Amino acid sequence: MRKKRFIVSIILMVILSSCAREPLEVSHDTFRQLRSYDADLDKVLRKGTRDWLQGNLTDIEPYQREFLNKVLVPSLAEELKWGLPMEVMTAQAILESGWGRSRLAKDYNNYFGIKEYRKDMEGAYYHSDEIVKGKRVSRKSKFRTYDTPQECFIDRSEWFLANCRYEDLDFHDLNYEEFAIELQVRGYATDTNYTKNLLRIIKEYKLNEFSNWIKRSIL
């Protein structure tokens, strides 16, 4: 029995390692002068984000401004490392957490409804809505918890990078529209309007404009 378990463990390690990826090397053609991501760069990006939001999204609600100030920089940091389009990651956080107002988001910084399937890890139990055979149903599930927004975005990237469903994708070769479409095609969400809703949010709140501006002006 022990030998059988050992063999199964080795097989799982091989499968997971085959899905692993190296950090994205960003060329000067993509970002002008990318420095290593550190506390100084984080501070500059956060100030730039606040300034841009004040000048370009003047009619949003205070809670929306607060949420964007909280998640835009962690989302950008993950794109710089892995190529996952920040426009989509931010729109997903908005859509799946209700602008950070869901209990899971407020209590545990879980903006994506990331479930906890690991039996040896603690989690928070909440009811969530899912679309099953065209009908919305409520189910109680175990979700992951995070101390900071940054931890949530890092874990989100790791989930995509380790998921064999996406292993053939070069994220840095996809623009945000292409990535949003791939999510729908590969069965990320049960809602048939998921991609449409993401693209609506990106356009309405100018997330693509912000992404282009901050990469061109600050990085």
Measure CA 91 to chain center.
9
Reference 176, options 95, 112, 96, 84; nearest CA is 84
Query: By the 8 A CB rule, do 84 and 155 touch?
Result: no
Task: Report the CATH architecture of 32-104+147-217.
Answer: Orthogonal Bundle (1.10)
Per-residue model confidence (pLDDT) at position 15: 36
Rounded CA separation 15/5 (Å): 15
For residue 134, the model assigns a pLDDT of: 73
pTM tops 0.85? no
pLDDT of residue 12: 37
How are the residues of the chain apportioned to helix, strand and coil, as percentages rounded to the nearest 5? 60, 10, 35
- In whole angstroms, what is the distance from residue 44 CA to residue 153 CA? 19
The pLDDT of residue 130: 66
Strands 124-132 vs 135-143: parallel, antiparallel or unpaired: antiparallel
Main-chain phi, psi angles of 195, to 5 degrees: -65, -45
160, 84 contact by CB (below 8 A): yes
Find tokens 């004040």 and name the residue.
54
Q: How far apart are CA 68 and CA 57, in angstroms?
A: 11
- For the record, the structure tokens of 122 come out as 């603690």
pLDDT of residue 131: 67
What single-letter DSSP state applies at residue 24?
P
Mean pLDDT per segment of 10 residues, for the chain of length 219 residues?
42 40 42 58 94 96 98 94 95 97 95 88 77 73 93 94 92 94 91 95 98 89
Quick check: helix, strand or coil at residue 168? coil
